[in-house]
């Protein structure tokens, strides 16, 4: 889909702009390597200006009633759904995921605007029963100020609205920096907010050089919080660079999700869910399965059933309705998947299916959906985030053993349990060191629940009543009284 010859990728104080340097960046369709368009591409200077404008817009935006702010979010939600098909096409064109997944993502993205349109009205303070007769203690919630939102390429719509919904609802003003590979979806979402009349300066967008924009956002004392989704490495850097001004952070970082298939699991269901988790977005989802531990008793039939289904998955351009496995985002992503497979095979793994680049005639970045068995804990694929369609399967014998294996990495985002036993649901959910546990469910992300990791997968919650509180300071007011 050709979006345009050249688009303005910078939106500051209600105006779409070119960068000062005149720099542009080509946006490439990862399925075909065709150029979709070029966008103006900024850096530090534009980001600092965006912060200034967001700061100027903050007093009036934060003083609006919650109901007034909520109205803008609700209108944007409706417009997103009205434009679902067009947004999904843009998303698939720049990111690659199959259209059906892109449509689901747009619905999910819109749902965060709806949820926070509602939650805006429920940010309560409190009056604390005082220990002194002549004192009253109040807690009042207040928007934290200007926030920066930095989003990744794998979910170019829902990662944006997960951050815009709660921050705008709380009364914050925003500088959004989308991933350089997928800015078009973010631009389309910002245009929706423009169309519904969001006041100028409340939401600003700077497509641009990550280093320059990142420097501006971390070095400016006016940015009070950075909400980031992406790699642990960049999260660590943002944390370090935010130390100077003691900025608040909300970090949703890498993961390495295990799926634990217990011997009492519903096998058919476990196979389908494993497949859905691993191969959604071609394995490029931070909560998707990176490793499977299956009980030895059922391992052979699990692998056999899974292999049959994986072999029948249709690889192709995401824009083709029949496609189930789309392209990977870029060449580096393909090389990382290939490197993990090579390393595993070198250390004794067996490829059941896949294990190589897909040689279609589309020209893009494809890797075949791959199943590996005979894997061990020393292999890269069992330790590093693959972010690709490679599924290593290891067997286990006891519950203690699998808990230890599941918890042995520094990541703690999502883990999944396949079991029919209530006892095991509690036993495992409590023992697994992860922020999100899916029990016979591999799509836990939803607007009404708190999503977020622990350990090196980050901190802070997106979604749920907790999500909006990231953007609120609870100010304590102590009132002395004269009798
Ligand atoms: N948790 C998740 O959902 C995600 C995890 N990842 C993991 O990270 C790996 C690398 O992916 P990648 O896209 O490079 O992820 P990054 O963490 O590099 O990018 C995520 C976002 O951060 C921006 N960014 C990069 N460097 C800086 C910086 N120094 N200061 C401020 N912002 C910065 C990027 O901008 P720009 O695009 O301009 O570089 C992008 O908007 C993946 O293979 C995967 O393992 C990746 C994406 C999402
Ligand atoms: O954090 C992620 O990579 C996105 C999960 C989003 C979803 O499951 O909808």
Q: Is 108 in the pocket of ligand 2 (CB under 6 A)?
A: yes
pLDDT at position 367 over 80: yes
For ligand 1, the distance from its centroid to the CA atom of residue 241, given in whole angstroms, is 16
Q: How many C-beta atoms lie closer than 10 Å to residue 322's C-beta?
A: 10
Q: Which residues contact 236 (CB under 8 A, 6 or more apart)?
A: none
Specify whether the CB–CB gap between 196 and 203 falls below 8 A.
no
Instruction: Give the C-alpha separation, 348 to 351, whole Å.
Output: 10
Mean pLDDT computed over 16-25: 96
pLDDT exceeding 70 applies to what percent of the chain? 99
d(CA 109, CA 73): 12
Give the model's pLDDT for residue 300: 98
User: Would you please indicate which residues are annotated as catalytic (active-site) residues?
Assistant: 252, 286
**What pLDDT is recorded for position 4?**
61
- Judge whether residue 209 has pLDDT over 90: yes
Read off the pLDDT band of 1 (50, 70, 90): very low
Answer yes or no: is the C-beta of 216 below 6 A from any ligand 2 atom. no
* Cβ of 220 less than 6 Å from ligand 2: no
- pLDDT tens string 243-262: 999 999 999 999 999 999 99
User: Considering only CA atoms, which residue is closest to atom 30 of ligand 1?
Assistant: 214
425 CA from centroid of ligand 1 (Å): 34
Say which DSSP state 315 is in: B
pLDDT tens sequence across 99-153: 999 999 999 999 999 999 999 999 999 999 999 999 999 999 999 999 999 999 9
Q: What is the mean pLDDT of residues 32-55?
A: 98
Sorted by where each starts, the structural domains of the chain and their CATH numbers stand as 10-253+457-477 (3.40.605.10), 257-445 (3.40.309.10)
Of 230, 238, 435, the residue with max ligand 1 atoms within 8 A of its CB, to mutate for a pocket test, comes to 230
Q: What pLDDT shows up at residue 6?
A: 87
The band of 271, judged by pLDDT with boundaries at 50, 70 and 90, is very high
pLDDT at 5: 73
Mutate to test the pocket of ligand 2, among 157, 158, 250, 252 (most ligand atoms within 8 A of CB): 158
């Amino acid at each position: 889909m050709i979006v345009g010859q050249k688009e303005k990728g910078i939106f500051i104080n209600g105006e779409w702009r070119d960068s000062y340097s005149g720099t542009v960046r080509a946006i490439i369709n990862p399925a075909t390597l065709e150029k979709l368009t070029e966008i103006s591409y900024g850096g530090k200077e534009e980001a600092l200006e965006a912060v200034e404008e967001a700061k100027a817009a903050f007093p009036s935006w934060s003083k609006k009633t919650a109901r007034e702010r909520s109205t803008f979010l609700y209108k944007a939600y409706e417009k997103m759904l009205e434009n679902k098909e067009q947004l999904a096409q843009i998303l698939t064109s720049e990111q690659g995921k199959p259209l059906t997944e892109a449509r689901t993502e747009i619905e999910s993205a819109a749902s965060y605007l709806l949820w926070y349109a509602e939650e805006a009205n429920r940010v309560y303070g409190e009056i604390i029963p005082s220990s002194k007769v002549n004192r009253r203690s109040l807690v009042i919630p207040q928007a934290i100020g200007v926030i920066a939102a930095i989003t990744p390429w794998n979910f170019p719509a829902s990662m944006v609205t997960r951050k815009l919904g709660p921050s705008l609802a709380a009364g914050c003003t925003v500088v959004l920096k989308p991933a350089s590979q997928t800015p078009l979806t973010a631009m389309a979402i910002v245009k929706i907010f423009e169309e519904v009349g969001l006041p100028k300066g409340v939401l600003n967008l700077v497509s641009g050089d990550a280093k320059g924009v990142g420097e501006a956002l971390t070095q400016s004392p006016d940015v009070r919080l950075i909400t980031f989704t992406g790699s642990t490495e960049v999260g660590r850097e943002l944390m370090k660079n935010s130390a100077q001004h003691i900025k608040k952070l909300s970090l949703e970082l890498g993961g390495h999700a295990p799926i634990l298939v217990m011997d009492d699991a519903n096998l058919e269901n476990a196979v389908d869910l494993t497949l859905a988790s691993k191969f959604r977005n071609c394995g490029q989802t931070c909560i998707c399965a990176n490793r499977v531990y299956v009980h030895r008793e059922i391992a052979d039939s699990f692998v056999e059933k899974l292999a049959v289904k994986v072999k029948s998955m249709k690889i192709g351009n995401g824009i083709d309705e029949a496609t189930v496995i789309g392209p990977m985002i870029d060449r580096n992503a393909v090389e990382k998947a290939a490197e993990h497979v090579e390393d595993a095979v070198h250390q004794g793994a067996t490829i059941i299916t896949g294990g190589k680049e897909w040689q279609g005639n589309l020209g893009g970045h494809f890797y075949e959906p791959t199943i590996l068995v005979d894997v061990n804990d020393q292999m890269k694929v069992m330790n590093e985030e693959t972010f690709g369609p490679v599924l290593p399967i290891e067997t286990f014998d006891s519950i203690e053993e699998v808990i230890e294996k599941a918890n042995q990495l520094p990541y703690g985002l999502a883990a999944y349990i396949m079991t029919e036993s209530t006892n095991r649901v509690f036993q495992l959910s409590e023992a697994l060191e992860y922020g999100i546990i899916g029990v016979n469910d591999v799509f836990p992300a939803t607007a009404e629940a708190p999503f977020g990791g622990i350990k090196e997968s980050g901190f802070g919650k997106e979604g749920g009543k907790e999500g909006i509180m990231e953007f609120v300071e609870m100010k304590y007011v102590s009132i002395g009284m004269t009798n």
